[in-house]
Amino acid sequence: MKNEFHFLKAGIACGYIQLKTICLAFLLMTVVAGYANGRTDILLTDGWTLRPISDPTPGKQGTAVTLPHTWNASYVKDTYYNRETMVYNRTLTISETMLHNNRLFLRFEGVNSVADVFVNRMTIGQHKGGYTAFCMEITDFVHEGNNELEVWVGNAFRTDVLPIAGDFNVYGGIHRPVHLLITAKDCISPTDYASQGVYVHQDKVSRQEAEFRVETVLSLTTATESKQLRLTMTDAGGKVVAQRTDAVIGGVMQQSISLRNPTLWHARKNPYLYNIKVELLDNGRVIDTVEEQTGLRYFSVDPEQGFFLNGEHYPLLGFNRHEDVDGKGSALSAEDHERDMQLISETGATMIRLSHYPQSRYFYELADRRGMVLWSEIPLVGPGGYDFTGYVKNVEENARQVALEMVHQNYNHPSVCFWGLFNELLVDEGRFREWDNPVGFVKELHQLVKQADSSRLTTFATCVQHTNYLGCSDLMAWNKYFRKPGNYSKVRQFYEEARQTTAGQPLGISEYGDAGSINIHTDPRYDRVRDHAENYQLLTHEGYWHAVKDMDWLWCKCIWQFADMQSSIRHEGDRDGVNDKGMVTYDRRTCKDIYYFYKAQWNPEPMVYITGRRFVNRKHEVTDVKVYTNQKDATLYVNGKKIAKQQSGDMNRIVFKGVHLSKGKNTIRVKAGKLSDECIWRFEPAEEK
């Protein structure tokens, strides 16, 4: 349904629907119809304008924009990108029906980084932090007819707003959807950390029985005597499996359910979801409804055996992912999120680390449905190899706020198993002395998160000695890069030694990888190793993966990173301002050779792929042909002539050595079982001087 105003039951993904302007009469019908389900959710996508706050000319029209939006997705000059304050403005048309015996709220899914919200030039409130949602009531600030909604958005650097460092760009704007919520006077609270107001506490889950509590936070303005709370649980087919109704006796209600022989959420093997519907009734009439999907599961991490899901060992293999797409920055559409999830899933990955901030609600929902385990973290981020620090005492209040928002807003997602506390706060040991020591605060943050959610495990990613952080979390993980070919022994030695000094805390890999551009190529038979060459990226990853693939005790193995992304501080590769360590290009149009290496390692579906396909023009007659395949063997043909047949081995990799090319065009073809792959190379001898 494509309308300007679209109502959905709370908790169901909006799909980021592209909306069109419609007449007020249809709006009124929509609002009235919405009350049958207890609340109306209007998505505010169109009708916005934008102008810089530095231009305060009265009556000046801004530039028309559509949400989600960011103003600095592209660089202004070289690697500089603008961090400033801009003003978003739109008209809110409020009908008499909307106002009658109702309450109105604005819910912002994400505004980067600080938002000051005004309605009819009156202050509604401020929110600090660009990657978590916030919700503000506007009931007493609006009137029938047209109302002015104005949002001042600033992404300028501040020491009291996360992040204060990091190897990624802080895009400015209302980069996630905005909703106008209309509820009855008494409702399920939309302002409890901007969550859905419904929390599913999985107290005890096994294959035989699931015992859990549904906690509902209410916002009540009238007496409770006539009110009830009805809880209904349905399975994936819509069948009611549990239901209970209780008298409302306070602002926070607890309703327990026991379910025999539940179907468990088992990640990619069976991402099974139940639907939880909570209805607030007044004299038997539904006045508010919230629906949430959740999966029942239990998990643990053992320092000697790794991650277990529902009692089974389940290797966590995957990627770090930024919300950053060429031309859009972090203002992603539903299609962008779906494409990323599809590309990640096709490799056979089982987990994603959401680096380095909570991401779109829609992506969490995709992970639930696709069975992808998530590590979600707050943007308490260090400098990523550069100067300055990611922690000063002034940022502590915002870190606490964002951590609680992250936990409450994503509490019901079965995909989330880990809460991340920080990333690379210190670059080297000396930073403990040069800057404020973060260890005491991180321990406090760990306790805060565990109090809010004791069912999940906390973790962090470090690039300095992990013993500095003992006792700061349940788990730990390393960002450790061994980039040169021949890194196998260095990697194995590092992790085996690190394992001995964790004091029993499970150890994982949060980042490893190397740069690779699809426009830079070298021939390893003749040329020196060149940084950022696509084939050099392969050598680094092959050695690293070979070293860790059988270390089952590592609780996770996360590659940096899924896709290339912008980082203004980088001057390298073939494009300034880009971190090109991704498996996929920034525009998502090309999967690099390294993407297919991991697909051959992780995905059981038959595949074969010739590397170096973009290295088209060659100056040497004799070359090697490297192939990735999960088939037992493959046969190489050059210009239709059979060259050789080889087995793939335990790395699902074949290198055909010393292959001769003909002058001019060469058709390179590989067959593996019923599959084949083909590319064209051209050989033109270098002119002799």
Taking Cα atoms as reference points, which of 520, 525, 554 lies closest to residue 537?
A: 520
Question: What is 510-547 written as a DSSP string?
Answer: EE-----BTT----TTTSPP-TTBHHHHHHHHHHHHHH
Taking Cα atoms as reference points, which of 108, 114, 109, 110 lies closest to residue 154?
A: 114
Task: Give the separation between CA 402 and CA 157, rounded to whole angstroms.
Answer: 17
Helix (H) or strand (E) holding 498: helix 488-499
For 610, 611, 616, 617, the CA distances from 620, given in Å and listed in that order, are 18, 17, 12, 10
Say what the alpha-carbon torsion angle 623, 625, 626, 630 is, to the nearest 10 degrees: -160
Beta bridge partners of 469: none
Q: b/e per residue, 457-490, with b = 16+ CB within 10 A?
A: bbbbbbbbebebbeebbbbbbbbbbbbeeebbee
Q: Taking a C-beta distance cutoff of 8 angstroms, is the pair 533, 521 a contact? A: yes
Task: Give the separation between CA 271 and CA 108, rounded to whole angstroms.
Answer: 29
424 annotated active-site: yes
Q: Taking a C-beta distance cutoff of 8 angstroms, is the pair 177, 67 a contact? A: yes
CB neighbours of residue 675 within 10 Å: 15
Task: Decide the pairing of beta strands 416-423 and 457-462.
Answer: parallel
Please give the sequence-ordered ranges of beta strands (E in DSSP) within 185-305, or none if there are none: 187-188, 198-205, 209-219, 227-234, 240-247, 252-260, 274-282, 285-294, 299-302
CB neighbours of residue 116 within 10 Å: 17
Cα atoms in the Cβ-side hemisphere of radius 13 Å centred on 265:
30
Helices 534-548 and 593-602, axial angle in degrees (round to 10): 20
Task: Give the separation between CA 53 and CA 48, rounded to whole angstroms.
Answer: 15
> What single letter denotes the amino acid at residue 631?
Q
Catalytic residue among 279, 323, 424, 534: 424
Edge-to-edge strands, sheet with 633-638: 617-618, 675-683, 664-672, 633-638, 641-647
Helices 439-452 and 396-409, axial angle in degrees (round to 10): 30
User: Which residue intervals of 583-625 are DSSP H helices?
Assistant: 593-602
Taking Cα atoms as reference points, which of 218, 220, 204, 318 lies closest to residue 264?
A: 204
**Residues forming the active site:** 424
